[in-house]
Chains A and B, each alone.
Chain A
Amino acid sequence: MIINHPLLGPRDSAEFVVLGDACLIDRPDGMNATFEELHDYAYVRDNPAGEHRELWYHEQGDRSWLVVTRSTLTHEVIKVDLARDVARARGRSR
């Protein structure tokens, strides 16, 4: 598989580690969140047959976490963003 790294260009997936559903970015704040919210965050993930947004880590590269939008039916990579930008766009900061 080839991941089009937004900064480095096409790179072999063997350089990466896959974590899974990008919803793992949306960690509830443990002080305010309910137990149920934390449970869903930790255990319930999207598993679509089709377009999937997932977290990849360029461990053997520039150590960026990426959000890869990829089809789980064809493996086509539709979009790749720096996870940090995605996280900020989703309102995460400090």
Chain B
Amino acid sequence: MTQAMRIEGGMIDRERTLAFSWNGRWMTGYQGDTLASALLANGERLVGRSFKYHRPRGIFSSGSEEPSALVQLRDGAAQEPNTRATTVELFDGLIATSQNHRGPLAFDLMAVNDLLSPFLSAGFYYKTFMWPKAFWERVYEPLIRASAGLGRLPMQPDPDAYDHGFLHCDLLVVGAGPAGLSAALAASRTGLRVILADEDFVPGGRLNAETHEVDGQAGADWAAAATAELTASDRVRLMTRTTVFGAFDHGTYGALERRTDHLADAEGRPRQVLWRIYSRRALLAAGATERSIAFGNNDRPGIMLAGAVRAYANRFGVAPGRNVAVFTNNDDGLRTAEDLGGKGIEVSAVVDARRGNVVVDTIGRGGIRAIRLGDGRRVEADCLAVSGGWSPNVHLTCHHRGRPAWNAEIVGFVPGGELPPGMCVAGAANGTMTLAATIREGHEAAAGLAEDLGAKGSPGTPAKAVDEGFAASPFWQVTGLRKRAWVDLQNDVTTKDVRQSHQEGFRSVEHLKRYTTLGMATDQGRTANVLGLALMAEAAGKSIEETGTTIFRPPYTPVAIGAFGGRARGRHFRPFRLTPSHKWAEENGADFVEAGMWLRAQWFRQPGEKGWRDSVDREASQVRRSVGVCDVTTLGKIDIQGRDAAEFLNRVYANAFLKLPVGKVRYGLMLREDGICYDDGTTARLAETRFVMTTTTANAVLVFRNLEFARQCLWPDLDVHLISTTDGWAQFAVAGPNSRALLSKVVDDLDLSNDAFPFMACAECSVFGGTPARLFRISFSGELAYEIAVPARYGDSMIRALMKAGEAFDAVPYGTEALGVLRIEKGHVAGNEITGQTTARMLGLGGMLSRSKDAIGLKLSGREAMNADDGMCLAGFRPVDRSVILTAGAHFLNTGDPADMAHDQGWMTSVAYSPELGTSVGLGFLKRGKERIGETVRAYSPVRDQDILVEVCSPHHVDPDGVRQRG
């Protein structure tokens, strides 16, 4: 087919023919076409099906308000469901298919719903499908879901890239129609930093669709000239294909720029960029949207908004029909007849409701063939241009929940009182419906804002134009119809549904919307809402003011979830933090595990080891037998300095810190103000006024934040200063009986003997002949152990050197799993015990709480329920049958008690297989656990199909008296 409906003129490049496929048939269009104009040029009228009744649907509009012409764009993983044909820029090789039908588009089996429509009236599904009970999930809902939705998601990952971006400007102008262009010109001349954004790919708005003149030239030519001036200015950023979709707080706007959607291939560039625009002021010049009239069978393909009919004829050089009828309630419709006449298109009738003439019905199945008038006459027409008046695009003015106000003169809602701060509105969006006034208003608004922002330059003078006639009338529906009249074309909401909603008591506008689904389709009812409200008002015998309106929420038009997601996908969803020994660990068979943002070595697989248990058992045993090395860089490190540093620590730790001597380390317990433990770690005093605090890996950021809070807000006059050094030092735990021997080969001239450098000692020293280092004698495993730190730049070199020095002792690297085994054997608490829900008393650390000072959390830790006698406390557990493996998360029950919540005795927090003891061991919280050592309880874990007997024991499975770590 060769574009049979193509006519002269328009803003298309006839030199550049583009081939595209529609439902598998190849057709041609021109550069500058939209998919919709190209389909019309090829005589395609039936392009889709409605949601509920599967009625035939055609192209209804020429813009982003399109309710009917929704297509599945592109193919494969790049498919885009529900894409408005009216906004898709045609490109060579474009592929589109129709959606929401079973069988061919022309013979949709689901169209049977239309015959059943009497039984599918508003809210019918709330009144049935209830019996028998079990049938909902099994029968009814599957049926309903089978017909749910419109387009189809490709079930493959989105192949395109997306980006976020940030822009700053003095003035953001939304919409590049006459008002927006005029405003942007004025603002740029005053020297403001301007962003002008428009959703279309050609600036000009309605100027491109109408035959108006501006400054003595065709409106479209004036728009092109204005665009040229703006593009030339380095103060202006003109963004076409960019929809400002949301007004957020303090002048922040969300905008979506479609960068490659008009290209066959994005070539790896981001398909769309989601901009966060920071503006000092914003001018909304988003124009207006035409609406329909309710009359019999007003939903057939070929029935089109009058403004769209003009757009296709004037801008795209396409005849929407061979003989066109016009039905209007305002002057706009008449203009359509003139424009079509000028293009040599036959106009078969102009029906003006203001003169009492109406269309009562339309004839034709897959598309309109004729109309029937109020006086019974039948008029042939393959296209009916309808104008029910224009609704200002006030959407962004509502995004801070401001309500639009009804304006009886223009018969539409205009921006209400409260606009988002910094926003003003000009042109049709503001209810200024004629051209000259629109241009003037845009100019003056911008000039006013420039002055108010202190811009010096002159805005110049606004372009000249003539105000066309505009006489809207509040004519909404043709009454006394026998045929159904549509309000919402996509969701199939008819005038009957609106009446029924009122009849059933759903009378507030919100109830109307929710009960009938009016305006809840992909077009958000942009061409339907006002009509629906007017009908509701008529049904209630109220005015539209009294009836009120629902308000608009972002986004103005739907935005791809991928665009909101930006780059945060797959491996790059969040940053990785790597330790200085990461590369070395990779070379040495490490499996890594996420610890917050960090990757930590979990274990080091050795040749011949079958599963992870082999590796972990080997590593843990070798630590207890000789020595092992573990990268503990991820623990938070905070450099704390100042004359009052000790006093400060004494107030943020629950245990005493004031008298910690220089050269010593102390274990510290941190409470929240509510008395619950939230972190622990060791803090070393390197000098009178200098401490190094360590936190858990998970809480490093939170602890730092809380310390800053205490420093700045609670005790602002303490001389104490914080800075994080977590990334600055590569820190390694060296643990095991041979750790001293190993380190004596590493550390330069420092006496490591037990007397000179006892348990909990620390020192600044150097290693391997002069590299600065810090040495701490602390143990998380219960063995003789140290932690040695060097500047991170030496981390990789250090781990290699340590392992070399350790060869003499068969030193092993060990990962987080072995670390866990060792600390569970020793009965040290960690994240599984310090959950933010546990008290020091539960953890068996109640004795640490100082009674002689004020520190954060001490007072509230004394509350009744947190100190109940039958309270939980930490205990150790071993399976009565030593061969059984324990389950973390099992709940404890007294033997003989029923398994219900009332008899819950606690839960297992951590388990590990202890190579040392040759059995699985656990830690857990048990009511009165301390007093019950030796008892036997049930460890009940139905989700793991486990119900076993365990013996309660001391949490210190290994070396309970702590001889080794002091040795």
Contact = CB atoms under 8 A, between A and B. Distances in A.
Given A38-B860, A74-B400, A88 B855 contact: no
A34 B125 CA distance: 59
A1 B713 contact: no
Contacts of A93: 715-717
Contact of A83 (B421, B705, B713, B718): B713
B760 to A, nearest CB: 28
B714 A1 contact: no
Interface string B794-833: 0000000000000000000000000000000000000000
B674 A42 contact: yes
A33 B859 CA distance: 9
Contacts of B708: 57, 63, 65
Nearest to A82: B712
Contacts of A83: 712-713
A42 B714 contact: no
- Which of B278, B647, B708, B712: most chain A CB closer than 10 A? B712
A2 B250 CA distance: 6
A38 B714 CA distance: 14
B348 to A, nearest CB: 54
Interface in A13-71: 17, 19, 24-25, 27, 29-31, 33, 35, 38-39, 41-42, 55, 57, 59, 63-65
Contacts of A38: 673, 859-860
B274 to A, nearest CB: 14
A12 B644 CA distance: 34
Contacts of B713: 24-25, 55, 65, 83-84, 87, 92
B709 interface: yes
A19 to B, nearest CB: 7
Nearest to B675: A42
A27 B862 CA distance: 17
A77 interface: yes
B338 interface: no
A23 to B, nearest CB: 11
A59 B705 contact: yes
A79 interface: no
B717 A41 contact: no
A78 to B, nearest CB: 12
Interface in B671-699: 673-674
B714 A2 contact: no
A87 B709 contact: no
Contacts of A92: 713-717
B718 A94 contact: yes
B165 to A, nearest CB: 13
Given A29-B854, A30-B859, A84 B712 contact: yes
A42 B860 contact: yes
A33 to B, nearest CB: 7
Given A83-B713, A87-B716, A75 B249 contact: yes
A10 B250 CA distance: 10
Dominant SS among interface residues on chain A = mixed
A88 B249 CA distance: 31
A64 B713 CA distance: 10
B251 interface: yes
Contacts of A24: 713
A58 to B, nearest CB: 10
A30 B855 contact: yes
A88 B336 CA distance: 72
A19 B709 contact: yes
A2 B252 contact: yes
A2 B715 contact: no
Contacts of A12: 252, 276, 278
Nearest to B708: A63
A63 B638 CA distance: 14
B714 A84 contact: no
Nearest to B722: A63
A88 to B, nearest CB: 5
A87 B712 contact: yes
Interface in B469-518: none
A1 B250 CA distance: 6
Contact of B709 (A1, A33, A57): A57
A8 B862 CA distance: 42
B712 A42 contact: no
A35 B708 CA distance: 25
Contacts of A88: 716-717
Nearest to A83: B713
Given A59-B705, A88-B717, A1 B249 contact: yes
B853 interface: yes
A24 to B, nearest CB: 7
A88 B282 CA distance: 39
B673 A94 contact: no
A65 B859 contact: no
Interface string B660-674: 000000000000011
B717 A94 contact: yes
Interface in B708-749: 708-709, 712-718
B712 A64 contact: yes
B209 interface: no
B253 to A, nearest CB: 12
B716 A2 contact: no
A30 B421 contact: no
B174 interface: no
Nearest to A25: B713
A92 B718 CA distance: 10
A2 B249 contact: yes
Residue from B248, B278, B854 having most chain A Cβ neighbours under 10 A = B854
B714 A87 contact: yes
A1 B251 CA distance: 8
A79 B27 CA distance: 62
A63 B711 CA distance: 11
B280 to A, nearest CB: 10
A80 B943 CA distance: 52
A31 B854 contact: yes
B705 A17 contact: yes
Contacts of B673: 27, 38, 41-42
B433 interface: no
B784 interface: no
Contacts of B674: 42
B39 interface: no
A2 B863 CA distance: 40
Nearest to B719: A94
Contacts of A35: 859-860, 862-863
Nearest to B852: A31
Contacts of A74: 400, 421
A84 B400 CA distance: 33
Contacts of B716: 84, 87-88, 92-93
B858 interface: yes
A94 B249 contact: no
B709 A30 contact: no
A93 B712 CA distance: 10
A2 B859 contact: no
A1 B796 CA distance: 43
Q: Which of B249, B278, B863: most chain A CB closer than 10 A?
A: B249
A84 B860 CA distance: 25
A92 B651 CA distance: 15
A3 B792 CA distance: 35
Given A2-B252, A83-B712, A93-B716, 10 more contacts: A2-B249, A10-B278, A27-B714, A55-B709, A63-B708, A74-B400, A77-B250, A82-B712, A83-B713, A84-B716
26 contacts: A12-B278, A25-B714, A29-B854, A35-B862, A42-B673, A42-B674, A55-B709, A55-B713, A57-B708, A57-B709, A59-B705, A63-B708, A65-B708, A65-B712, A65-B713, A74-B421, A75-B250, A76-B421, A82-B712, A83-B712, A92-B713, A92-B715, A93-B715, A94-B647, A94-B715, A94-B717
Q: Which are the 9 A-B pairs with shortest beta-carbon distances?
A: A30-B854, A2-B250, A93-B717, A1-B249, A84-B712, A30-B859, A38-B859, A31-B854, A65-B712
Interface of B: 248-252, 276, 278, 400, 421, 644, 647, 673-674, 701, 705, 708-709, 712-718, 853-855, 858-860, 862-863
